[in-house]
Structure formats: C-alpha cells, structure tokens
Amino acid sequence: MGGLTLDKILVLDFGSQYTQLIARRVRELNVYCEIHPCHLSADEIRAFAPRGIILSGGPAGVYQEQAPTCSREIFELGVPLLGICYGQQLMMNQLGGQVQPSRRREYGRAELEILDDGDLFRGLGRSERTPVWMSHGDRVEKPAPGFEVIGRSDNSPYAALRDGARRFYGLQFHPEVVHTPQGKRMLSNFVLEICACRPEWTMANFIDLAREEISARVGSDEVILALSGGVDSSVVAALLHRALGRQLHCLFVDNGLLRLGEARSVEEVFGSHFGMDLVVVDAAVEFVQALAGVQDPERKRKIIGQKFIEVFEREAGRFARARFLAQGTLYPDVIESRSVRGPSATIKSHHNVGGLPERMNLELIEPLKELFKDEVRVLGRELGLPREIVERQPFPGPGLGVRVIGEITPERLDTLRRADAILQQEADQAGLLAETWQTFAVLLPVRSVGVMGDERTYEQTLVIRSVTSVDGMTADWARLPYDTLAIISNRIINEVRGVNRVLYDISSKPPATIEWE
Ligand code: XMP
C-alpha cells in the first residue's frame, strides 16, 4: 500500500444509544472513523490526528453535576466539530451559550426548516422543510458567541447552529438515524466537504493495510484459527490466509451439532478451493456421548463449551510452533468493552472460546477488531468468499444442541437437521434469509396425534422460528407469508420422518429469547 495514511474522523461518545450509528454512517462514506469515550485525553486526541470530531448525543444534561465532558482542547485543534444533541449542548455550554431543560420534551419526528443551505445543509434547499428525528429534554436557549442559526423547528429555535469561522456545527436532532432522511447528506457534507476527508476507507485498501500489519506482527511465526464456518471466523481465515499462506492453520471441530452439509462445505471452501491448511476434527461422537441424558439448557451449554475447549486444545497440540491464536472479534465488541455506559449495559454471555489464549499460552490476533459486521461481509466478498458464507445468518456456538429441546440423541439431531435444511432451502428461495436476522427450526420433546394415510401417528413437533433484529439484543417475530409457511410445513411433514406437526413461534425478545435454550 506504500504508506497510505487514511483521513480519520473521531467520534467522542457521551453515551447515546446511536453513537455506533454515527460511526457506521461515516464509514459508509468510505472515511475511517473511531469511537472513543468522551474523556479521551488531549494527547490521545492529537495522536489520533482527526480531520474532524463528532460529539455524540447522550442521556445527561450539561448543567448536571458530573455531566460527562471532554477535553477543552478540541476547540483549539483547528479541526471542524459537529455536536449532535448532547454534543451540541455541551459545545454551547463550553463556549459561552446557554442550555436549559426545555418546557416540552421533544421525542420523535419534527420538521426542520432550513435557513441556510450553504455548507452543512448544502443540496437541501433554503427554506425547505425536512423531517428530522429529535430525542431530547434540554435545548439551547442562547447560542455561544460566534454562532448563527441555520435551521429551526417548532420547538427548537436553535435546532441547527454554525460558527462558520471556526467550522463548528451543532444539531439538536440526530442526523445518523434513518428517521432523518437527509441526515446522510448532512453527514456527508460535514465529513467530505467541511472536513475534506478523502474517501479512501474501502475494503480493498483495508486488505492491503491489514496484510502489511499482520505480516509485520507475525513474522515467520504460525497462527491457529478456530474456524466455525460462520461469517467472522471465515473472513478471518481468508484474510490471514492472504497475508500468511500456510503459516495459518485452521482447525474446524465438527461437534455433531452442525447443520446439514456444513462440515463438507467448510472443507470444500477452505480446504479445496482456498487450499488452506485445514484440519477437520470429527468429534461428533464425543460430543453426543458427553450430552447423553442431559436435558437442562445451561448444563448442555456448559458441556458443549468445555468439550470444545478440550478437543481444540488437544488437536491444536499438533501445531506446536504456533505463537498466535486468531479470533473474529468485531468493532462493536471493542467499543462495548470500553463504553462510557460501563460494561454492565452491554454484557454478552456468548463468548465461545473465552479463556483459550491464556490457557494455551498464545497471543491473540484479532484482524477484524476495527470493523463493523456489514464491513466484514464486504471484506469477505472482496476476499472471494462465496455468498452462502458471507451472507450467513448467526448460528450459536452450541449449535443444534440448544435447538433439540430435551435430550439430544443422534436420531433427534438427524430429524432436526433434515427439517432445518428444508426450511433453509425454502426460506432462501423466497428471499427470506436476507430479510430476517435468523430463520431456523427447533425440535420439541412433545408428541402429538395425527393421521397419515389411514394410519394414526404419534410423532414429534417442530417449531419454525424466524425473527427480525438489528443486533440480536431485541427481536421481533418475522411476518412470514402464509403461503411460504404452508410450503415449508407441508414439505417437512411429508419428507421428514418422525415429525407430524409444525408450529410457528410468534414471540418477541424480550420477553422470549431468540433461541429456545
Ligand atoms: P438469544 O437466544 O439470547 O440469542 O436471544 C441472541 C443471539 O445470540 C446467538 N446466540 C449465541 N451465539 N454462542 C454464540 O455465538 C452462543 O452460545 C449463543 N447463544 C445464542 C443467537 O443465535 C442470537 O443470534
């Protein structure tokens, strides 16, 4: 890449639920951007060398005691600033304006009247009205010296402010959310025009930068990767392979809890097609034996987790020269672990290989830790991974083990696997896999009576679960078309022996979870 230096935007986080969205919108403009807690030190800010800074929203009020603040040096750096909601209020507060609780809290849609379409609102039209998304209890009562109004709404006379000389901007509303349809244009005006960032953050450039960095760090040492067949570990594999070739060793543990054909497709893609050094460990019998007779969901998860570590450690022993363990950590995990809201707001209990690097005395290498999920998918495509892998829906580490409710036996696993394969096929054909967060089957330990031909049956029950979600933290059941459900149900009952009833799960999360166990 010959020393490409990317133009960067810094997002200082004051705890808004939308902070990640700001960063994603900036990245969509092909400009690199990082989120840091608002209290980042002046030295760190200077070292980051941003071409512009965005101050996020947040739940606090600027006049409260202990209200979060940031280094005052951001006002002296000579770079453009954009304050959003709390960010705008903080800016006014620090620069000599006035902020007060507004008489009416304003949540939801409002109309912004554009008073100046010169720079931040370029292309939007003077005197035009455009919908914006408000979510605030406080508002600016008096702008700081040097600021002029460039947009207002019925409840916010200072909905948009500008200090043209210093290139400081403040918005009372949220340009980063989809409910502000022109928000993307505003952010683009800020990032590409006002900050003059070059749009060079592309996954093609990322590959070059990452290769250099990985090669420099790993040198002639070797790396082990636990390949699961999911998007993240697959993209890590493809990227590391590009950088390191046969210095990368991929271990794929077939735990017998995978979907139909999964192990074979991993071998085909990574072994045959990419020619990676791939070891497939068939541990199905071992896992199913360890799970025999176990019904309790938490115990199942524990057993599967422990078994995985045991098998992985044992099999990884063959790569005695390895010094690194690669993991598909993504940027949201990194942000959440150092969030200003504190780790308690965002704890996730789904870490499948937690503790492994320490136990095995390996250094962690996490080449995706700067990327959002959508970027990882683009990167995967860029690296030549097939669509089935890049667009794959999330699949839990414990696999079908938490989807066969009750006792896990090879027969019941087989039943679920075949039913799930039909569901996947039909859902894919109907375009539903792209539209839903997850669509999968669950086998219940409930039998019911039916008739088939002239015969009475007494067979098992299968549930179809299909949900929409942005991040898996909350979810709604998908409104799948009846006709598609009819085809799926018919095929499953006719083609999968042992199932005579299919149900559709219409529970949202919360209070239900996405998985059944
Ligand atoms: P729940 O069932 O808690 O799941 O609503 C939220 C999301 O996490 C996935 N999930 C897991 N992922 N290891 C994982 O890697 C796990 O043990 C695990 N359990 C649940 C689930 O599929 C959903 O997308």
Q: Where in the chain is the domain with CATH 3.40.50.880?
A: 8-194
pLDDT of the residue at 353: 57
Q: Where in the chain is the domain with CATH 3.40.50.620?
A: 203-390
Which pair of structure tokens corresponds to residue 39?
């209290």
Helix (H, G, I), strand (E, B) or coil at 220: coil
pLDDT of the residue at 341: 57
pLDDT of the residue at 478: 98
CA of 515 to the centre of ligand 1 (A): 7
Helices (H) then strands (E): counts for the chain: 16, 18
**Kind of pairing, strands 363-365 and 322-326?**
parallel
Residue nearest to atom 11 of ligand 1 (CA): 396
Q: What is the CATH number of domain 8-194?
A: 3.40.50.880
Task: State the Cα–Cα distance between residues 68 and 62, nearest whole angstrom.
Answer: 8
H helices present in 267-409, as ranges: 284-291, 297-316, 331-337, 356-360, 373-382, 387-390
Phi and psi at residue 169, in whole multiples of 5°? Answer: -130, 145
Which atom of ligand 1 is nearest to 438's Cα? Answer: 24
What is the identity of the amino acid at 265? Answer: S
- CA-to-CA dists, residue 238 to 251, 334, 365, 383, angstroms: 14, 22, 14, 6
Q: Which residue has the tokens 């979600």?
A: 469
Tell me the CA end-to-end span of the chain in Å, nearest whole number.
Answer: 47
- Tens-level pLDDT at each residue, the chain (517 residues): 456 799 999 999 999 999 999 999 999 999 999 999 999 999 999 999 999 999 999 999 999 999 999 999 999 999 999 999 999 999 999 999 999 987 777 789 999 999 999 999 999 999 999 999 998 889 999 999 999 999 999 989 999 999 999 999 999 999 999 999 999 999 999 999 999 999 999 999 999 999 999 999 999 999 999 999 999 999 999 999 999 999 999 999 999 999 999 999 999 999 999 999 999 999 999 999 999 999 999 999 999 999 999 999 999 999 999 999 999 999 988 888 777 654 334 433 344 556 788 888 899 999 999 999 999 999 999 999 999 999 999 999 999 999 999 999 999 999 999 999 999 999 999 999 999 999 999 999 999 999 988 899 999 999 999 999 988 989 999 999 999 999 999 999 999 999 999 999 999 999 999 999 9
Range 203-390 classified under CATH 3.40.50.620:
yes
Instruction: Give 129's Cβ-side CA count (13 Å radius).
Output: 5
pLDDT of the residue at 1: 47
**Residues with Cβ within 6 A of ligand 1?**
350, 352, 394, 396-398, 438, 472, 509, 513-515
What is the identity of the amino acid at 20? Answer: Q
Looking at the annotation, which residues are catalytic? 85, 174, 176
pLDDT of the residue at 396: 95
In 10 A of CB 271, how many CB atoms?
A: 16
Task: State the Cα–Cα distance between residues 311 and 281, nearest whole angstrom.
Answer: 9
Show Cβ contacts of residue 113 under 8 Å, excluding neighbours closer than 6 positions: 127, 128, 129, 151, 152, 153
Which pair of structure tokens corresponds to residue 263?
């192990």
Which atom of ligand 1 is nearest to 301's Cα? Answer: 17
Which pair of structure tokens corresponds to residue 505?
């799960």
CA of 94 to the centre of ligand 1 (A): 43
Q: What is the CATH number of domain 410-504?
A: 3.30.300.10
Task: State the Cα–Cα distance between residues 28 and 372, nearest whole angstrom.
Answer: 11
Which atom of ligand 1 is nearest to 513's Cα? Answer: 5
pTM, two decimal places: 0.91
Show Cβ contacts of residue 180 under 8 Å, excluding neighbours closer than 6 positions: 131, 132, 133, 173, 174, 186
CA of 133 to the centre of ligand 1 (A): 31
CA of 517 to the centre of ligand 1 (A): 9
In 10 A of CB 437, how many CB atoms?
A: 18
Max CA pair span of the chain: 87
Residue nearest to atom 10 of ligand 1 (CA): 396
pLDDT of the residue at 336: 80
Q: Where in the chain is the domain with CATH 3.30.300.10?
A: 410-504
